[in-house]
Every structure is written in C-alpha cells, then in structure tokens.
Amino acid sequence: MLQPTPGTVHFTQVLVHTPVYSQMAGALTYLSSAVLPPGSLVRVPLGQRELLGVVWHETTSPESPQAGLDISRLRPITVVLDALPPLSAHWRALIQFAASYYQRSAGEVALSALPPQLRELSSVQLARKLKKLAKTVEKTAGTGAESASETTFAESQSAIYSVVLSADQTRAIDQFNQNQGPFLLFGATGSGKTEVFMRCSAELLARSPGAQVLVMVPEINLTPQLEERFRARFGHLWGADAVVSLHSGMTPAQRLNSWLAAHSGAARIVLGTRMAVFASMPQLQLIIVDEEHDPSYKSGEGARYSARDLAVYRAHQEGIKVMLGSATPSLESWYHSRPAAEGGRYQRLDMPSRVGSGQLPLVRRVDMNHQPKGCIIAPPLLSAIAERVARGEQSMLFLNRRGYAPVLECTDCGWKSTCPHCSAFRVFHKIDRTLRCHHCGLTERVPRACPACGNPDISPVGRGTERLEEHLAELLVDIRRPDGEAVRIVRIDADTTRLKGALESQLAQVHAGDVDVLVGTQMIAKGHDFRRITLVAAVNPDNALFSSDFRAPERLFSLLMQAAGRAGRDAAVAAKSEMWLQTFHPTHPLYAALKQHDYPAFAESQLQERQQASMPPLSFQALVRAEGRTQEAAQMFLNRASQAAREQSDTAAMLPHLTIYPAVPMSIARIANVERAQMLIESSSRTALQRFLTAWQSVLHSTRAEPQCKGLIRWAVDVDPLLI
C-alpha cells in the first residue's frame, strides 16, 4: 500500500482515454497525496465522469509546478489501484511508440489495451482476484511437490521431444536457436509451422523459469483450436491456467482474468488476436505471429495500428526473439526477409514440404467461358464433389460473400435494395427474409412488392454463401453417402456463428466427419486443420483480379493458397486432393503461379510492379480520413489542411520529400448518414513522412477550428493503410 506523505500534495500526470483530435489528447495533471510510480493504475474525475487512467510521468512536488498550471483548478485522484503492480517501462515505451508512429493519443492507445472491467473494480476487489490467482498457481506448482524440480524437468523434456520432427522443422528450429532474428517462417500449408512454434516455446519455457510467450493469431475463430493444442502440450506441466487467451470475443470477466494472469506472470503462454500485442507480460521472452500476412492484424478503427509490425518493434525494444509465420507472407515481410547483402532485416526459415507423405493439392482451373450460361457450379466440379461424397470424403466450397444475394432488384423500374443511410446495398438474407446493411446494421423485412413501382417481381442478383448452400443442396439431392444417407451440407460464416459456441460446434461436426460439403467465407479458408477434406473449390474468385486496390492480387493469392491448403492434410488422402478454380480468366498469371504453388514467383512479380509504381513496401503511405455532415465539408477540411501545410515553414520543409494527393470520397462514401473523404500522402522516406505527420497535427487542429470546416465531425490519420 502506498503511504501518503503527511501534509503534502503532489502533481501527477495521468493518461486517460481521449482521442487525438480532442483538445485534451495529452496527459492530464491531477493531485495525489502520495508519490505514485509511473505505470500505476488510478481512477480520476473528468467532467461528470470517472475514468480509468495510467500514471505516465514521475510525480512532481508542489515546489516544482508546471509552467502556466492553474493549481486551483486541479482535482484529486479518486482511487489508486495499488493492489496491481505498476505497468512496466517496456509496456509504456511500446504504448508511446505506437501512439507516436500511428499518430494517436497515448491515452487512447493505453486505455484501449487494458481490460474494460478494470474501470469498475475497487483496489480491494482486485486484491482478492490476485490472491485467488496466486492460490491457483501455488496449487498447480505444488502438485507432486516431491522432487518437483527433477520431475518437472523430466516431464518438460518428454513433452518437448514427444513429436518426431521433419528435416525442414529441425533445420528451422536450429536456425532459430542459433540466430537473433527477427524470423520469417515461410512454410507450406501443412508443413508443421504450429509444431515449430510449440517446440521453440517449450524449449524456452523449460530453459527459463518464469519466462512468458505471446502467440498471436489473426482471428478469434482460430484461437480455440490453437489453445487446445497448447493446453494439451503444456497443461500437465504448469496447469491449465498457465495457457490463457486474450481477445475481444471474451466476456469482460474472462478478459480481466486472462490479463491479470499475464500481468502477474502466472500465465506462461498468452494466445490472442491483434489486441494481445499490448498485453502486459513482465517476463516476455518470445513473440510468435501466426498467419502474419492476414489483414486482420491491422486495426480498422480507433488507433489504426498493425499488430504484426508492433510485435517486431516490441521484440526489438525488449531484446527478445520474434517469429512471423505464413505460407503466403505479406509482401512487406517477404521484402524484409531478402538476403542481408541486399538490405534484408529478417531471417527467412524455409519449410517447403508438408509433414509426412502429405502433398499439396492439384490445382484445376475451370474455364467458365465454356460452361453452360449462368451456371453457378460447373458440371465437372459438381461431378467431382459427388464422387467425394460417394467415397465418404469431404469437400469445401469457398465464396467470400455472405447472405443469399448482395442485392434485390426490380425487373420493371430497376429499383435496388440500397441502404438509405449508406452508399451501399442491403444484402438479402433469405433465411429470415430480411435486407441487412453490413455497414450500419439497418435491418428490414423484405418488401412484398417494389417500393418504387409496386411490381411484385423483385428478384435477387448475384449470390452469397446462403444461396450457394441452397443451390448445392438442390444439385446433390440424389447423391448418397456410403451409408445411404443424404448429403450433409453445413455453412460457416458470420451469420451462422453469431451465437456463443456455434463455431466450435460446427467445426467439431466437420472434424468428426458428420459433414460432407462445407460452404463458407474466408472464415474456413485459413488456419483450420481439416483432415478429411480432399477437394476445395473457389466459386467466384475473379472479382479481385482487376480491382483498383493495388493490394487486391496479394490478398487473393494468399486467400486462395490458404484455402487450397485445407485439402490433403492427411497423408492417406493427399494423393487425390484437388483445388478447383472457377474462373473466366484461366490464363491469368496469378492463377498460373497458384497452380504451381509458387509463392516466390508471384511475390517477385508483384514486387517488380510495386517498384515500378513506387508502391509499398518500396515507399510509405498515410491516409488522412475525414468524416462530416456533408461530403463538401469533409473534403473542404482535408484540402484546407493540405494548403495550410504548404504555408507553414515546419511542414513546408518536408514537402519536397512527399506527394500529397487531393481529397476524394472514400470507396464507400457514406455510412450511417456520415460522409467520408480521404487524402493520400506518399513518400520514399518513412522518416520524412513521420516528421511531416507529427508537425501537421497542429495544422489539422487549427484547420478544424476554421468556420469553413464547421460541418466536420472528426478526422483520423491512418499510417501504413491497407485499404485505399
């Protein structure tokens, strides 16, 4: 318990959750009766509210007040959560760097990284939770206390070496142990990357008592199966509570318990999504980023940080190792893992072969130009699926669009199911006869007739997973399983997995063999270890081939190659596994590279194009996004801020190193009746871009206050954006 100094009051700098565009984006000064170390958690008053805060700087005495500080207006700290050890200097440095690099306020980043329930519990309640946690750890550690050290060491050695490694895995682990990294584990799907992760973690934990490992996955639905594998490997050594998950899908109580276990050091392994990169882990020794290429590691709202890049920075800052793993690395990581003589900063660990006798699936391209007009499933593909069903094998159809159809249309007047609040269509969901906007959430019943002309003949246009599931059931109605039963089709997407436990239940059905055909979005296309699937099909992958987004080919190739990797993972069926592509452009170079499973060739061609166009990773970008009541107000703010940057000396000095484009509407210009615009800034120098953005912050604040920008709601800077 912190002891107050009798008769004295101290000035304490506290970070609270305030956005960068507000007038209170920095640390706020409060009064405290005790000297509080930086990193202490407190609750402080702000207006009529009481907020959670983090003590950010050394507490100062009344003899050295800040210049211009009106002491009479300062308010005292309400509660000090002194039951918790202060957040470490490393953690605070990570928060400060993330806030600075991504142009956010430190308070916004710091408080978003903490579990929400900390805002509600008293110091006494926290002390009880920590005491209970300590008892659990002590009980686990005390099991089999006789000759505990020898027993634990023998058990850990047995657990580490219980799995026979392939030559590729052995070579990758040896290189990992002998070098400092950062490492890019480039392994084919099914090559055993997860086993490498577990082996490296096991050796570290056996070697360093108290050490902690952070394992990151891109999506919540990949966490349960990974947690199960890590618990099976490490649970009997340190107890089930030594492996915890940390993601936004957990209840507030679960998230708090996991965070406390990590913060106290009780959790040896933390598995989590992008938010876990900010987990407080005082004994962190290794960071693993699985499926590092996945766009989900980049936050799309709030502090728009890249968890993958912050993981690399955190490892460098704390002097520990980091391993990024993928079968289709991001072009940024691939570029950084080129030979050191060419400027590469990462060390590439290659695992080109699947474990055991597993083989990568044969890729077949179906030219839809030669198929019956309007067919959804090509006859050759349908026959191949039927053959799999008859043999008791599983197939997977991938379509990255949920719902029944993306739009309803009137055949007479051309009315379409647009959203009244967004510049997007409402998607038709047949299962409950609703039109849903996937942007603002507006949901309405399907009208009985066209709202514009009264025509009762309104029909769906295009298709989603719901319609694909229905159509497939019609086509396979006469096909029978080996036991004589009808075909079993299951759809997995965001609509079928909304209820708690639904995803786990559906995946269990697939693993148990109770499903013949699996239909879904990208949720099923990556990370899952489906042992019975021998056929994977991409129904309509052409949409991304000619996108205006320069990253679209990279995302499509990764998604298709990851989807192909779900087939043939069991050596018993690997020889007959196939990946089918239904395309109107079968000769496209992307599909040619995919047929050969040749990611290096694809990456090389993409990097050449990026170099010619001066695109990332050979240049650096930032987007300034503005939201306003009108499109004119949003664009006015951006253009006036751009003009002001040319007139101020500290920003104008950076302009020769930058290209600032005019403001334009975003691809979806209106969401929930808020108009959105953006401005792109490019530079060949990361340093020049960062210096400009930092100096530009004051310009953006002053521009917002101008009368011409009265209709502006908010603005935000997105550094290293993924979507332009």
pLDDT, position 238: 76
More confident residue, 541 or 154: 541
pLDDT, position 145: 36
* Residue 626: strand, helix, or coil: strand
| pLDDT bracket for residue 147 (50, 70, 90) | very low
pLDDT, position 700: 92
How confident is the model over 558-570, as a mean pLDDT?
84
Neighbours of 319 (CB within 10 A): 9
pLDDT, position 471: 93
| pLDDT bracket for residue 155 (50, 70, 90) | low
pLDDT, position 573: 65
| pLDDT one-digit tens code per residue, 266-322 | 999 999 999 999 999 999 999 999 999 999 999 988 889 999 999 999 999 999 999
Preceding omega of 182 cis (within 30 degrees of 0): yes
Which domains occur in the chain, in start order?
10-113 (3.40.1440.60), 125-351 (3.40.50.300), 362-402+464-612 (3.40.50.300), 407-461 (no CATH), 620-719 (3.30.70.360)
| pLDDT bracket for residue 136 (50, 70, 90) | low
pLDDT, position 309: 97
Neighbours of 35 (CB within 10 A): 17
Between CA 378 and CA 243 the distance in angstroms is 46
pLDDT, position 455: 92
Q: How many residues does the chain have?
A: 724
How confident is the model over 423-436, as a mean pLDDT?
93
> DSSP strand E in 471-562: where?
489-492, 517-520, 533-538
Least confident residue range of 219-228, 299-308, 632-641: 219-228
DSSP track, 552-607: HHHHHHHHHHHHHTTSS-STTTGGG-EEEEEES-TT-HHHHHHHTT-HHHHHHHHH
Between CA 194 and CA 227 the distance in angstroms is 11
Q: What mean pLDDT value characterizes the chain?
A: 88
Neighbours of 161 (CB within 10 A): 12
The predicted model scores a pTM of 0.91
| pLDDT bracket for residue 511 (50, 70, 90) | confident
pLDDT, position 226: 87
Strand partners, 398: 520, 538
How confident is the model over 621-643, as a mean pLDDT?
95
Residues 6+ apart with CB under 8 A from 128: none
Q: Does position 535 have pLDDT exceeding 70, yes or no?
A: yes
Annotated binding site for Zn(2+): 410, 413, 419, 422, 437, 440, 450, 453
Write b or e for each residue in 200-233: b if 16 or more Cβ atoms lie within 10 A of its Cβ, otherwise e: bbbbbbbeeeebbbbbbbbbbbbbbbbbebbbeb
pLDDT, position 162: 72
Phi, psi of 244 (to 5 degrees): -130, 155
pLDDT, position 159: 57
pLDDT, position 284: 97
For tokens 């197939």, the residue is 395
Q: Does position 513 have pLDDT exceeding 70, yes or no?
A: yes
How confident is the model over 20-41, as a mean pLDDT?
83
Phi, psi of 44 (to 5 degrees): -135, 155
Q: Does position 148 have pLDDT exceeding 60, yes or no?
A: no
Reading the block at residue 651, the tokens are 């920003």
pLDDT, position 4: 44
Reading the block at residue 159, the tokens are 């657990």
How confident is the model over 207-230, as a mean pLDDT?
88
Between CA 458 and CA 419 the distance in angstroms is 16
Phi, psi of 269 (to 5 degrees): -130, 125
Beta-sheet pairing, 489-492 with 28-32: unpaired
Q: Does position 58 have pLDDT exceeding 80, yes or no?
A: no
For tokens 């990357």, the residue is 193
List Cα–Cα distances, 350 to 62, 168, 171, in angstroms. 60, 7, 9
Write b or e for each residue in 435-451: b if 16 or more Cβ atoms lie within 10 A of its Cβ, otherwise e: bbbbbbeeeeebbeebe
Least confident residue range of 341-345, 544-548, 618-622: 544-548
Least confident residue range of 10-24, 94-108, 258-272: 10-24
Q: Does position 693 have pLDDT exceeding 60, yes or no?
A: yes
Strand partners, 42: 53, 80
Q: Which of 667, 697, 677 is nearest to 634 (CA)?
A: 677
Q: Does position 40 have pLDDT exceeding 60, yes or no?
A: yes
Annotated binding site: 410, 413, 419, 422, 437, 440, 450, 453
| pLDDT one-digit tens code per residue, 242-263 | 899 999 888 999 999 999 999 9
pLDDT, position 8: 72
| pLDDT bracket for residue 593 (50, 70, 90) | very high
Considering the chain, what percentage of its residues have pLDDT values greater than 70? 92
Q: Does position 3 have pLDDT exceeding 50, yes or no?
A: no
| pLDDT one-digit tens code per residue, 355-395 | 876 678 899 999 999 999 888 999 999 999 999 999 999 99
pLDDT, position 208: 86
What type of residue is 31? Answer: L
What type of residue is 3? Answer: Q
Considering the chain, what percentage of its residues have pLDDT values greater than 90? 62
Least confident residue range of 54-68, 110-124, 615-629: 54-68
Beta-sheet pairing, 394-398 with 533-538: parallel
Q: Does position 2 have pLDDT exceeding 60, yes or no?
A: no
